[in-house]
Amino acid sequence: MASICEQVEEGKTSWPELVGEEGECAVTTIEKENELVHAQIIAEGTIIIEIYICDRVLVWVNDNGIVVTTPKVG
């Protein structure tokens, strides 16, 4: 049986087409296209611990809630 990380990587793991979109819409799209991940909105400039989590997607948004970097698994 495959681990959760292996299962996640079988699906979509990066969403460059969401840069410039609204963060909430991006979260919905990501979780629809890969049901094994949980997407989280993070404000640009927020300090986070750099830990790879295979079923997480960070959605970095600016002050207007617009996605500013490519969301990807990790």
Cα angle 45, 46, 50 (rounded to 5 degrees) comes to 110
What's the pLDDT score for residue 71?
98
Instruction: List the beta bridge partners of residue 73.
Output: 57
**pLDDT tens-digit readout, 2-46:** 677 888 778 899 999 999 999 999 999 999 999 999 999 999 999
What's the pLDDT score for residue 35?
94
Domains and CATH numbers, the chain: 4-61 (3.30.10.10)
What's the pLDDT score for residue 38?
97
Question: Does residue 1 register a pLDDT over 70?
Answer: no
Q: Which residue has the higher pLDDT, 10 or 63?
A: 63
